C-alpha cells in the first residue's frame, strides 16, 4: 500500500528492511543459540530447562532492545544518508524509522517467542498468530496510510504505526499461549548463566555471519541505489513479492532447525539427517511452484504495490530472474537452517561471507563500474544463490555437522 503514497516512500520502507537486517544481527545472538539449545532440551524431555532458558533470553532481549531503540531513533536520518539515498527518500525514511525504533522491544520479543516455540515444535500456533497479525497490519495500513474511519491520512508514518501495533498483538498472543500449562514452553522465572553462556558460544558466530551478511547486503543495495530511485524501488518491490516464495523456505528451514536439534538431543543422528533432507525436498517443491508464478505474472504482481511504470519495469525483470532461482534458494534456506539447528554456526558463517562477497558484492560493483545495467546485477545475484546452494548440498552430505557439540 505504501507504493500508492509515492515512489520515495516505497524506497524508504524498502531500505528500512535492509536496516532491520542489521538489527537482526543482535537478535541472532540469542535466537539461533536459543533455538539450538531449546530444541535439544525438548528432544531430551527437559521442558522446564527449555522454559527457563526462554525466560532468561527474554530478559536479555529487553535489555538489548533499549540500546537499539536509542540508536535507531537518534540516527534514523543518518542511516539513510549513509546508504546514499536521495533527499526525498531520506526525509520519508527518517519519519518511518523513528517510529519503528520506538517499537524495537516488541519486535525483539516477538522474534524470540516465535523462534523458541518453533524450536520446541509448536509451529501451528505461531502460524495462526502470524496470519492474524498480517491481516491486522494490512487493515491498519489501509486505515492509517490513507485516512479512513475517522483517522487522518498519515502516509508513511501510518505504515510504521500499523507495523508496531501488529507486533504488539503478536507478543500479547504469545504471552497468552505460554501461560497455558499445556503449551510447549511456559514461563519459568529462573536464570541459568551456564545456559546463557552456551547460547553465546553458538550465537556469536551466527551473529557475526548475520552481521557481515547484512553489511554485504547494504553494500549491494547501495550499488542498486546508485542506478536511481526507480531501480531501488523496483528492487524493493520485487524483494517484497519474492517474500511470498520465501515463506515456505523459511518455514521449512525452521522445521529443519527444530527437528534436527530435537533428534540430535535424542541422540538419533540418522533421523536428524533425514529430517533435513525431507524438509529440503518439500521446500523446493513449494518454492519452485511459486517461482513459476513469479516468472509468468510479474507485472500483475507488481501492480499491487505501485503504479509507477519505471518501477514496474524494474521489479518485473527482477521477479522473472529470481523465479528461476527459487529451487537453489530453498535448498540453501533448509540446509543452512539444519546446520544452525545442530549448532554448526561457524560453518554457515564461512559459507555465507565467502559467497556473498566473492560471488555477489564484488562482481556487482565491477559490473556497475563497467556500465552494465540493473539486469546484470540481478543476474549476478541469481548466480550467487545457485553457487551457495551447491556448497550447502556438498556440506550437508558430508555429515560432519552432525557431530557438532553445543
Chunked mean pLDDT (size 10), the chain, 406 residues = 61 70 79 84 86 91 88 73 68 77 89 87 82 87 77 76 90 91 86 86 82 81 84 83 75 81 83 88 86 88 80 88 88 88 84 90 92 90 92 91 79
Query: How much is the pLDDT for 175?
Result: 92
Give me the count of residues in the chain. 406
Query: How much is the pLDDT for 14?
Result: 67
Q: Cell digits for 136? A: 491486522
Query: How much is the pLDDT for 384?
Result: 93
Query: How much is the pLDDT for 21?
Result: 73
Q: Cell digits for 310? A: 519505471
Query: How much is the pLDDT for 255?
Result: 81
DSSP 182: T
Beta-carbon contacts of 333 under 8 Å, excluding residues fewer than 6 positions away, are 246, 249, 250, 252, 253, 283
Distance CA 287, CA 301 (A): 16
Query: How much is the pLDDT for 174?
Result: 92
Query: How much is the pLDDT for 202?
Result: 82
128-138: b or e for each residue (b if 16 or more CB lie within 10 Å)?
Answer: ebbeebeebbe
Query: How much is the pLDDT for 5?
Result: 57
**Whole-angstrom Cα Rg for the chain:** 21
Distance CA 84, CA 8 (A): 13
Distance CA 178, CA 190 (A): 15
Distance CA 254, CA 333 (A): 9
Beta-carbon contacts of 222 under 8 Å, excluding residues fewer than 6 positions away, are 83, 84
Alpha-carbon 328 to chain mean position: 18
Amino acid at each position: 500500500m505504501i507504493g500508492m503514497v509515492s515512489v520515495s516512500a516505497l524506497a524508504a520502507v524498502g531500505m528500512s528492511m535492509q536496516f532491520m537486517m542489521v538489527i537482526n544481527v543482535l537478535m541472532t545472538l540469542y535466537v539461533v543459540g536459543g533455538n539450538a539449545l531449546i530444541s535439544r532440551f525438548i528432544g531430551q524431555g527437559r521442558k522446564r530447562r527449555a522454559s527457563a532458558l526462554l525466560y532468561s533470553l527474554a530478559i536479555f532481549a529487553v535489555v538489548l532492545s533499549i540500546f537499539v531503540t536509542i540508536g535507531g531513533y537518534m540516527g534514523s536520518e543518518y542511516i539513510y544518508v549513509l546508504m546514499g539515498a536521495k533527499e526525498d527518500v531520506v526525509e520519508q525514511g527518517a519519519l518511518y524509522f523513528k517510529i519503528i525504533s520506538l517499537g524495537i522491544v516488541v519486535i525483539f520479543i516477538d522474534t524470540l517467542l516465535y523462534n523458541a516455540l518453533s524450536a520446541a515444535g509448536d509451529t501451528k500456533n505461531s502460524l495462526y498468530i502470524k496470519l492474524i497479525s498480517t491481516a491486522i497490519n494490512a487493515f491498519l495500513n489501509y486505515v492509517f496510510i490513507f485516512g479512513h474511519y475517522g483517522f487522518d491520512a498519515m502516509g508513511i508514518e501510518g505504515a510504521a504505526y500499523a507495523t508496531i501495533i501488529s507486533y504488539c498483538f503478536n507478543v500479547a498472543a504469545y504471552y497468552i499461549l505460554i501461560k497455558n500449562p499445556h503449551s510447549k514452553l511456559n514461563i519459568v522465572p529462573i536464570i541459568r548463566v551456564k545456559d546463557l553462556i552456551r547460547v553465546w558460544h553458538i550465537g556469536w558466530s551466527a551473529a557475526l555471519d548475520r552481521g557481515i551478511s547484512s553489511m554485504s547486503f547494504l553494500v549491494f543495495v547501495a550499488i542498486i541505489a546508485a542506478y536511481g530511485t526507480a531501480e531501488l524501488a523496483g528492487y524493493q518491490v520485487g524483494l517484497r513479492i519474492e517474500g511470498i516464495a520465501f515463506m515456505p523456505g523459511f518455514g521449512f528451514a525452521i522445521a529443519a532447525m527444530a527437528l534436527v536439534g530435537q533428534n540430535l538431543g535424542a541422540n538419533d543422528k540418522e533421523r536428524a539427517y533425514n529430517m533435513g533432507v525431507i524438509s529440503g525436498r518439500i521446500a523446493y517443491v513449494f518454492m519452485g511452484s511459486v517461482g513459476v508464478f513469479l516468472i509468468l505474472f510479474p507485472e500483475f504482481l507488481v501492480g499491487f504495490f505501485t503504479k509507477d511504470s519505471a518501477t514496474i519495469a524494474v521489479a518485473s525483470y527482477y521477479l522473472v530472474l529470481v523465479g528461476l532461482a527459487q529451487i537453489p534458494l530453498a535448498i540453501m534456506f533448509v540446509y543452512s537452517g539444519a546446520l544452525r539447528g545442530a549448532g554448526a554456526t561457524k560453518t554457515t558463517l564461512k559459507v555465507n561471507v565467502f559467497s556473498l562477497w566473492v560471488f555477489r558484492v564484488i562482481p556487482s560493483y565491477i559490473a556497475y563500474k563497467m556500465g552494465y545495467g540493473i539486469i546484470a546485477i540481478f543476474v549476478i545475484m541469481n548466480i550467487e544463490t545457485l553457487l551457495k546452494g551447491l556448497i550447502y548440498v556438498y556440506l550437508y552430505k558430508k555429515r560432519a555437522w552432525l557431530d557438532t557439540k553445543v
